[in-house]
Chain A
Amino acid sequence: MRKFVVLLMCLILPFSLFAQGAAESGAADAEGKVIIFQSKVEITEALERAAEDFTAETGIEVEIWETTGDDYRAQLSLRLAGDEVPTIFTVAAGSEAEMFAPYIAPIEDSEVNQYISSSLALMVNGKSSGVPYSVEGYGLVINTDMVSEADLENDETFLAALDRLASEGVNPFGLSQESYFLIGHLLNAPFAIMDDPEGFLADFEAGNVHLADQEEFQAFALLMDKIKEVAVNPLEVNYDRECGDFATGKTAMIHQGNWCYSMFSSYDSDVDMALVGVPLLGNDRLSVSVPYYWVVNSQVSEADRQASIRFLDWLHTSQTGMDYILNEFLFVPAVSNIATDSLDPLSADVAEAAGSGETLIWTTNLWPMNIVDTDFAPLAQEFFTTDMTGIEFVERIEDAYLARL
Chain B
Amino acid sequence: MVTNRKNERLIYLVFTMPATIAFFLVVIMPFAIGIGYSFVDWDGIVLNPMTFVGLDNYKRIFTDERFIASALHTLIFTLMAVVTINVTGLALALLVTSKLKGSNMARTMFFMPNLIGGLILGYIWKFILSDTFRSIGETTGWTGVFFNWLLDPLFALFSLVVVITWQMAGYVMIIYITGLQSVPDDLIEAAKIDGAGAFTRFFRITFPLIMPAVTVCIFYTLSNCFKIYDINLALTGGGPANATELFAMNIYNEIFSYNRYGYGQAKAIIFFFLVAIVTLTQVALTKRKEVQL
Contacts and interface: CB of A to CB of B under 8 A. Distances in A.
A299 B22 contact: no
Interface in B1-20: 7, 10-11, 14-15, 17-18
Interface string A83-112: 000000000000000011011000000000
Nearest to A17: B18
A71 B256 contact: yes
Nearest to A388: B241
Interface in B224-259: 238-242, 253, 255-259
Contacts of B239: 235, 377-378, 381
Given A100-B45, A235-B240, A385-B151, A373 B14 contact: no
Contacts of A236: 130-131, 134, 148, 151
A99 B48 contact: yes
Nearest to B44: A77
B284 interface: no
A7 B130 contact: no
Contacts of A7: 10, 14
Interface stretch (A8-16, A246-254, A262-270, A273-281): A8-16
Contacts of B10: 7
B225 to A, nearest CB: 23
B45 to A, nearest CB: 5
A370 B259 contact: yes
Contacts of B291: none
A99 B242 contact: no
Interface in B132-191: 134, 148, 151-153
A22 interface: no
Contact of A99 (B18, B45, B131, B151): B45
A373 B257 CA distance: 8
B130 A369 contact: no
Q: Does more than half of chain A's interface fall in helix, strand or loop, or is it mixed?
A: helix
A236 B257 CA distance: 25
A11 B17 contact: yes
Interface in A1-57: 3, 6-7, 10-11, 13-14
B253 A385 contact: no
A6 B17 CA distance: 12
Interface string A361-391: 0000000011001100111011001000000
B260 to A, nearest CB: 11
Q: Does more than half of chain B's interface fall in helix, strand or loop, or is it mixed?
A: helix
A81 B44 CA distance: 9
Contact of B14 (A10, A71, A73, A370): A10
Nearest to A11: B17
A6 B13 CA distance: 12
Contact of B240 (A11, A74, A80, A385): A385
Interface in B56-112: none
A385 B48 contact: no
B21 interface: yes
B26 interface: no
Nearest to B153: A385
Contacts of A73: 256
Contacts of B240: 235, 378, 381-382, 385
Contacts of A99: 43, 45, 48, 259
B46 interface: yes
A13 B18 contact: yes
B47 interface: yes
Contact of B22 (A3, A6, A14): A14
Contacts of B258: 370, 374
Nearest to B126: A238
A102 B47 contact: yes
A10 B14 CA distance: 7
A189 B152 CA distance: 29
A378 B241 contact: yes
A373 B241 CA distance: 11
Given A99-B48, A374-B258, A10 B241 contact: no
A374 B255 CA distance: 11
A236 B134 CA distance: 9
Nearest to B21: A14
Contacts of A374: 253, 257-258
Nearest to B130: A236
Contacts of B241: 378-379, 381-382, 385
Interface in A188-246: 233, 235-236
Contacts of A3: 7, 11
Name the residue among A71, A100, A236, A299 with the largest chain B CB count within 10 angstroms: A236
Contacts of A81: 45-46
Contacts of A377: 239
Contact of A6 (B14, B44, B257): B14
6 contacts: A10-B14, A14-B18, A99-B48, A235-B240, A378-B238, A385-B240
The 4 A-B pairs with the shortest beta carbon distances in the complex, nearest first, are A382-B241, A102-B47, A74-B256, A381-B240
Interface of B: 7, 10-11, 14-15, 17-18, 21-22, 43-48, 130-131, 134, 148, 151-153, 238-242, 253, 255-259
Given A7-B10, A299-B47, 7 more contacts: A80-B46, A81-B45, A99-B43, A99-B45, A102-B48, A374-B253, A381-B239
